[in-house]
Structure 1
Amino acid sequence: MGKILPRFLACASVAVLLAGCASTPTDDDETKGWTAEKLYSTAKAEQADRNFEKSTKLLEKLEARYPYGRYAQQAQLEEAYNHYKAQEPLLAQAAIDRFIKSNPVHPSMDYALYLKGLVSFNEVQGFLSAISKQDMSERDPKAAKDSFDAFKDLVQRFPESRYAADAQVRMGYLIGALASYELHVAKYYYKRGAYLAAANRGKYLIETYSNTKQVEAGLAMMVISYNKLGLNDLRDDAKRVLLKNYPNTQTLEKDFFDDPSWWTPF
């Protein structure tokens, strides 16, 4: 035992030294002596060729060797983009958040917010396709909310940005997605006999997403849920509002909520 411990410590010391040398150029490192500009331009070329992993490694070397200056700042954004294109959302978000925190007044902040919204936006498609197949009380629309918040921040802070118009379009889609989610939740509760919970989700939908097509179905959900609960006054009030705003509504017809068109954002 006495001989093993010193040998182990010696090996551990070697490992630490090797790890410490990993971020510095080695004799066989083709990038040895490269300027920050050359590292950045080469990384961008690899990015253009969709070699995202190689591009990211070059950007990481740039940051390690030249931690100050415009190339290092831009490298953080390019790393985020590489992770986004490589479908690595967690790494992309981490890189964007690091950039935003480190460079609060950077001239590319509008792009950083746009990219932050895009990363979460891509997750919304999977979210929408899954919510009708799972326990709705256990689903979390966090990606849709995060994406909406990032786009909203962009539009409010940089209304003249080249990315603002597209962000606004995506915000409209996300609002519809979140309203659809609330309708799914209400239907889930209703089918399981949790009528008060169903009515409350319908009410929340109306109050929170008042400019979406799902409001009509949200009102109908309140009507049928209050009817099941024997709350006739609340039922009649909800029905009155429904018919006043949607005189030709078909939402109270049997099996209406089995119509899949109500479970899409638009």
Structure 2
Amino acid sequence: MASTAACATLTLLTGCSLFGNKAPQVPQLSSADAYYNNGIDALRGRRYALAAAEFEILQQNYPYSGYTANAQLMEGYAYYLQSKYPEAAQQLDRFIELHPTSTDGAYAFYLLALCYYEQIGDVNRDQQMTAEAMSRLQDVIARFPQSKYARDAQLKIDLCRDHLAGKEMLVGRYYQQQRAYQGAIGRYQRVVQDFQTTNHVAEALERLVEVYLDLGLTGEARRTGIVLAYNYPGSKWYRFAYSDLKRYRLLEASTPKPGTTKGPPGAASQEETMSPAQSAARGIGRADAPASLTAAPVQPVSSQSLQSDGSTLTSNVAHQGVAQGTNGRPR
């Protein structure tokens, strides 16, 4: 026992002599503005993972800094640029909850909506994400009706509606092929009644003409053909319907030939809108950089010059001398 104690004492003394009787040094943290500058520089250099990490370190170590609120928003934007939409949404939800009166609220709500919008899948899949995206976009319009984000949100809502209508048409065509005509009629009628501004209405009317003819409902087929002629006289779908009605000898003297009548002002054409998947493929609809990347002062600013809630993105930091960023019938 005595020898064991002696060894322990000798080890302790030896350890103390190795450190020179001084405790190990702990690396010092950088300042809040340094972390924020690093994050901004990383965003400018498209090193989005590094940017998110810098903003996260700032929040963890300087929770009451004037930079913290902006760091929360910018971290969400960095995740968004990496297509890490769940992480971005979580960060943006946190920002909105902690800073409900922020002057950057409109952008935060808009970017949060885009996190759902970007996840909209093909019409062959479940459209729950489309419905969620519409709800979030409508939130932007309701809360910030006069903002530029509201105008863009309305456009994206129209694209979401077009996507939902496309889903209804997909199911309707399947029912029609299976001769489940009642189900097909229900899907096509929903497109006509609930998605009147989408580019699927002309096809839905033409499909209804087909189904009514198959069921022997010639009166319904003729009336639907007249509606199609009035609203989409130059579309291929009216040409198909006109051909079917002619084949069944259901044309009247007053039935217009394709392309000879003019629909009401604002009648949608087949190519006026794109689905979210189409717009994403063309690079349309992605969020622009927040103001911190396009309007940040060139000269560094101190945390004291920021608002207490850190809600003004135009007060963000940029290192001196760093250039500012830019930004036949289908069956």
The reply to whether TM is greater than 0.5 is yes
Instruction: Find the residue that maps to 2:148 and give its secondary structure.
Output: coil
Q: Deviations over 1:86-128 (max 9, x none)?
A: 111221222222222333222111101221232233334xx3x
- Counterparts of 1:56 and 1:34 in 2: how far apart (Å)? 16
Q: Deviations over 1:19-45 (max 9, x none)?
A: xxxxxxx934xxx33232222222111
Match of 2:84 in 1: 88
Equivalent of residue 239 in structure 2, options 211, 225, 250? 250
Normalising by the residue count of structure 1, what TM-score does the alignment of the two structures yield?
Answer: 0.71
Match of 2:208 in 1: 222
Distance 1:92 1:188, change over 3 A: farther
Contact 2:158/2:198 (8 A) holds in 1: no
1:212 aligns with 2:198: yes
Instruction: Find the residue that maps to 2:101 and give its secondary structure.
Output: coil
Pairwise CA distance, 1:200: 0.9
Q: Give the aligned residue type for 1:80.
A: G
1:119 aligns with 2:108: no
- Counterparts of 1:97 and 1:192 in 2: how far apart (Å)? 45
Shifted more, 228-237 versus 85-94: the winner is: 228-237
Distance 1:230 1:98, change over 3 A: farther
Pairwise CA distance, 1:183: 1.8
Q: Give the aligned residue type for 2:197.
A: N
Shifted more, 240-249 versus 195-204: the winner is: 240-249
Match of 1:52 in 2: 48
Pairwise CA distance, 1:70: 4.4
- Counterparts of 1:224 and 1:111 in 2: how far apart (Å)? 47
After superposition, where does 1:41-80 map in structure 2 within 5 Å?
A: 41-80=37-76
Match of 1:185 in 2: 171
Match of 1:11 in 2: none
Distance 1:103 1:189, change over 3 A: farther
Shifted more, 95-104 versus 78-87: the winner is: 95-104
The structure showing larger relative contact order (alpha-carbon pairs under 8 Å, at least 6 residues apart) is 2
Normalising by the residue count of structure 2, what TM-score does the alignment of the two structures yield?
Answer: 0.58
Q: Give the aligned residue type for 1:27.
A: V
Match of 1:142 in 2: 128
Pairwise CA distance, 1:185: 2.3
Match of 2:291 in 1: none
- Counterparts of 2:273 and 2:127 in 1: how far apart (Å)? 13
The alignment of Structure 1 onto Structure 2 pairs a total of residues equal to 222
| Gapped regions of structure 1 (runs ≥ 5) | 1-25, 255-260
- Counterparts of 2:273 and 2:167 in 1: how far apart (Å)? 9
Contact 1:80/1:96 (8 A) holds in 2: yes
Q: Deviations over 1:206-262 (max 9, x none)?
A: 2221122311212222332344445556545544433443455124257xxxxxx96
- Counterparts of 2:229 and 2:66 in 1: how far apart (Å)? 60
1:109 aligns with 2:109: no
Pairwise CA distance, 1:264: 9.0
- Counterparts of 2:189 and 2:271 in 1: how far apart (Å)? 17
More helix by share: 1
Equivalent of residue 33 in structure 2, options 37, 59, 73? 37
- Counterparts of 1:123 and 1:211 in 2: how far apart (Å)? 23
Equivalent of residue 167 in structure 1, options 133, 143, 153? 153
Identity of matched residues, % = 28
Q: Give the aligned residue type for 2:44.
A: A
- Counterparts of 1:205 and 1:57 in 2: how far apart (Å)? 46
**Larger of the two Rg values belongs to structure:** 2
Q: Which runs of 4+ in 1 moved over 6 A?
A: 261-264
Contact 1:89/1:120 (8 A) holds in 2: yes
Q: Deviations over 1:133-158 (max 9, x none)?
A: xxx4xx22233333333333223322
| Gapped regions of structure 2 (runs ≥ 5) | 1-24, 245-268, 275-331
Instruction: Find the residue that maps to 1:250 and give its secondary structure.
Output: helix
Distance 1:89 1:221, change over 3 A: same
